[in-house]
Amino acid sequence: MAKWGEGDPRWIVEERADATNVNNWHWTERDVSAWSSDRLRQLLLSIRVEGPEGVCLMTEVSKLDGEASINNRKGKLFFFYEWQLKASWLGTSVGGVKYRGTVEVSNLSDENDEDDLDINVSLCKDQPNTPLLDLMKRTGVKEVRRVLTKYVQDLKSEFSQGMILPTADGKDPSVPAKAKRNLVKTRTQITPSQKSLSSPTQTSTGVLIPTCGFNLQESFRTSAEELYETFINQEFVQVFTRLPAAVDSRKGGKFWHLDGSVHGEFTELVPHQRIHMKWRFRTWPSEHFAAVSLELEDHGDETELRMECRGVPAGQEGSTEEGWKRFYFNAIKQAFGY
């Protein structure tokens, strides 16, 4: 765990002029809006409901306005949050017909209980009536309420630790042993030959971070058409990752892979030839995405895939490259025999 006020752009601390807060007497505040935004998106995009009418899942969070903060007064914690959100859902009927709709919540705040949330589900204006709307109102609303409650629980559990400020002797709180073990486990060793630093990228928190990139090339024993569909078809993605996924396969459409560990947005789709996307792993700095391009070249009995990835946070290119090989390329070959 980083020392108080160091190494984590989420923390904003209001201190006295001498930078002390003896025995936690004075009011301090931490802005956790960026963390909250990421967590809300992750939870909402994990929603999937199924019934006799078909299947519905969240594909995009188009609006997330609000803020969240934690205050410490005389050693007591106060959590403040207020959000308005709008998400899109995609439903597929038992007959294979797709429908699109939205979910809106206008009053997620510390002043309202779980049962007081106003959750409005509707179809997009150009969509005909469908039983899938009833499924979303019946089951989808419960799931939205559940994940928003989970957000509040995670907010309190994530930030309750380490909230007590340094005492009069100037010592920082010690890091729990469990947290120390977790830090060691997640370190990635990168050799000098792996590093390819590019210009620093500015995150949503206003912090410049150094980034890097890598290139990969792989051959698949299938057509470019089938390989293209494998990457943009939700059912195929769930098959080769063996985990829940959501994929809106159109330009500007959002995707969510590996049970929320990865998400992003398609920026360009050229059928059977090219896939460009913004892509991020959930532990990266808030709202920071890498630019990934997949170029497909059909050679008849096999397809050559050339991948370029730019904007990976420095120090994580090794694990990111290995993740693409293991959880995408090798997994596709094992699942489909390509």
* pLDDT digits 0-9 by tens, 258-301: 878 899 999 999 999 999 999 998 888 888 999 999 999 999 88
Q: What is the pLDDT of residue 158?
A: 79
Q: What is the pLDDT of residue 95?
A: 87
Q: What is the pLDDT of residue 192?
A: 33
Q: What is the pLDDT of residue 260?
A: 80
Q: What is the pLDDT of residue 3?
A: 41
262 and 290 in contact (C-beta within 8 Å)?
no
Q: What is the pLDDT of residue 115?
A: 86
Place of tokens 């890598």: 214
213 and 196 in contact (C-beta within 8 Å)?
yes
Q: What is the pLDDT of residue 161?
A: 60
DSSP string, 108-156: EETTS-GGG--EEEEE-TTPPP-HHHHHIIIIIHHHHHHHHHHHHHHHH
Indicate if the alpha-carbon torsion angle 326, 329, 332, 333 is positive or negative. negative
Q: What is the pLDDT of residue 22?
A: 47
Q: What is the pLDDT of residue 230?
A: 94
Place of tokens 């980034």: 211
Q: Any bridge partners for residue 30, and if so which?
A: 70
Q: What is the pLDDT of residue 129?
A: 92
Q: Give this prediction's pTM.
A: 0.49
Q: Which amino acid is at 281?
A: F
Instruction: Pick the closest to residue 303 from 230, 226, 249 (CA basis).
Output: 226
Query: What residues in the chain have per-residue pLDDT under 50?
Result: 1-25, 163-198, 204-206
Residues 6+ apart with CB under 8 A from 104: 85, 86, 87, 119, 120, 122
Q: What is the pLDDT of residue 174?
A: 35
Q: Any bridge partners for residue 263, and if so which?
A: 256, 280
Q: What is the pLDDT of residue 205?
A: 43
